[in-house]
Amino acid sequence: MLPEVVHKTSEVYGISRDLPLNYIPRKAVDEHFIANLTRDKHIVIYGSSKQGKTSLRKHCLQDDDYIVVHCSNKWALSDIHSAILKRVGFEVTQSSTKSTSGKNKIMAAFKAAVFGVGVETSGEKETTTTDAVTKEPLELDPEDVNDIIKALQGFNRYIVLEDFHYLPIETQKDFSVSLKAFHEQSKLCFIIVGVWLEESRLTVYNGDLTGRMVSVNADKWSLPELEQVIGVGECLLNIEFTQDFKNVLLNNCFESVYIIQEACFRACESVGVHHTQSTRVEIGDGLDAKMIIADVVAQQTGRYNSFIVLFAAGFQETALQMYRWLLYPVLTADTAKLEKGLKYREMKETIRAHHPQGGGLNPGNLTQALQFVASLQVSKEIKPIILDYDQTNLQLNVVDKGFLIWLDNQDRNDLLELAELPPQ
């Protein structure tokens, strides 16, 4: 007899657009996030790629609690402000009037059903009406956070900025200044989502955000939590993975929920489990969990090889080729050390030992290159990014756990040759 509810395997395991049915709330993550939603502070959700940052937001908030703006690598501060206005419901057009910076102001007109049903705002006036036409649009300076705050008076949803790490560094810094004004002069709360492992990333850009912002680390998954993800999926699909299969999977996934989800999906597909089973099915005998994991990350081989070539080339050809040499400690370190992050001192010593300029290499060149590691990847359209530099802890982090597993299955000298670096 079929179970009362039949689920597709793709709705449970694997990566999907919707919240997976086997989503597991994590005490240190979900409860921390929920507890801070009512504190009138901005919230930063950070972690490696595909570790559940977006799922956290979807699970803890209702759709009508927030609006979402996806950031672009070509945006300046004015573009973020304009994108927020558009997402709220404004129609934004360019004005012929110049701002103090010499750039054109914008005309922003909207019907304020977003703020409250039947309320329409035009300029300073507010009337209760069902008329959708705004007769007196606002003229705003898109670079002036005060104008944006004034335009958004009455808006009471969270504003989610996804992919914040794709923004140019200068734009991230400029918006960090805006965030202080949003906190002090309005009731607006932002949820910033970014791929990095640095708790205080935005407070490094603007120290005034200290105390006005809370960080939520969505990167960390314990083995019991990952095992629970597998277990809930088993119940939903009426299946059972062998304990040996689960043990190998958990011990080789680098605490990546993406690897767990995708490996379980492939294991199900390999034995023909495409939906909830009518009778309990055992999966695992004859399946090599390590091989399945290797196959999952092998799909990214082209992207990872491309990353090495593009990153090594840097922004432009230079005498020191610092970005090429930044790859040397990454491609020669064991994955256990990479998982913890490479300290600045370790990288400096390794590069100096092999770089043509040796001990004469200026540490300032290394520091400058590290600060633009994420920007380089974004400019080369490497998405998601693979490396990120933590300026607080002076540490280079791998923020794509699949890359760690992939490295474990490669000949490192082949990768060094690909990067045009000397062999070990």
pLDDT in tens, 224-268: 999 999 999 999 999 999 999 999 999 999 999 999 999 999 999
Q: What is the pLDDT of residue 108?
A: 78
Q: What are phi and psi of 370, to 5 degrees?
A: -60, -35
- Claim to verify: residue 176 and residue 255 sit in the same structural domain: no
Which residues lie below 8 Å from residue 421, measured CB to CB, with a gap of 6+? 312, 324, 325, 327, 328, 331, 354
Distance, in Å, from the CA atom of 147 to the CA atom of 181, rounded to the nearest integer, reads 11
Domain of residue 85 covers 27-92+143-217
Contact in structure between 214 and 42 (CB atoms under 8 Å): yes
Phi-psi region of 252 (alpha: psi -120 to 50; beta: other; left: phi over 0): alpha
What token pair was written down for 341? 């992050």
Contact in structure between 156 and 182 (CB atoms under 8 Å): no
Q: What is the CATH number of the domain that holds 148?
A: 3.40.50.300
Q: Is residue 397 in a domain? A: yes
Q: What is the pLDDT of residue 95?
A: 66
Q: What is the pLDDT of residue 139?
A: 87
Show which of 194, 217, 240 is a domain's final residue: 217
Residues 109-119 as b/e (b if ≥16 CB within 10 A, e otherwise) read bbbbebbeeeb
Q: Is residue 98 in a domain? A: no
What token pair was written down for 251? 């011990």
pTM: 0.89
Q: What is the pLDDT of residue 248?
A: 97
- Claim to verify: residue 290 and residue 205 sit in the same structural domain: no
- Claim to verify: residue 81 and residue 181 sit in the same structural domain: yes
Q: Is residue 257 in a domain? A: yes
- Claim to verify: residue 376 and residue 399 sit in the same structural domain: yes
144 residue type, one letter = D
- Claim to verify: residue 186 and residue 330 sit in the same structural domain: no
Q: CA-CA distances (angstroms) from residue 322 to 47, 69, 157, 175?
A: 26, 34, 44, 29
Contact in structure between 211 and 252 (CB atoms under 8 Å): no
Q: Is residue 97 in a domain? A: no
- Claim to verify: residue 249 and residue 319 sit in the same structural domain: no
Q: Is residue 127 in a domain? A: no
Q: What is the pLDDT of residue 128?
A: 36
- Claim to verify: residue 377 and residue 328 sit in the same structural domain: yes
The burial class, CB within 10 Å (0-12 / 13-18 / 19+), for 169 is: middle
Q: Is residue 162 in a domain? A: yes
Tens of pLDDT along the chain (424 residues)? Answer: 456 789 999 999 998 889 999 999 999 999 999 999 999 999 999 999 999 999 999 999 999 999 999 999 999 999 999 999 999 998 888 766 666 666 767 777 765 544 543 334 333 333 333 333 343 678 899 999 999 999 999 999 999 999 999 999 999 999 999 999 999 999 999 999 999 999 999 999 999 999 999 999 999 999 999 999 999 999 999 999 999 999 999 999 999 999 999 999 999 999 999 999 999 999 999 999 999 999 999 999 999 999 999 999 999 999 999 999 999 999 999 999 999 999 999 999 999 999 999 878 888 999 999 999 999 999 999 999 999 999 999 999 999 999 999 999 999 999 999 999 999 8
- Claim to verify: residue 266 and residue 213 sit in the same structural domain: no
Distance, in Å, from the CA atom of 66 to the CA atom of 159, rounded to the nearest integer, reads 6
Show which of 171, 202, 217 is a domain's final residue: 217
Show which of 298, 313, 330 is a domain's final residue: 298
Structurally, the chain folds into a number of domains equal to: 3
Q: Is residue 36 in a domain? A: yes
- Claim to verify: residue 60 and residue 147 sit in the same structural domain: yes
- Claim to verify: residue 334 and residue 408 sit in the same structural domain: yes
Q: Is residue 198 in a domain? A: yes
What token pair was written down for 260? 């767990």
Listed residue (328, 370, 335) closest to 349, CA to CA: 328
- Claim to verify: residue 194 and residue 60 sit in the same structural domain: yes
Cis geometry, peptide bond prior to residue 3 (ω within 30 degrees of 0): no
Residues 67-97 as b/e (b if ≥16 CB within 10 A, e otherwise) read bebebebebbbbbbbbbbbebbbbebeebee
- Claim to verify: residue 342 and residue 243 sit in the same structural domain: no
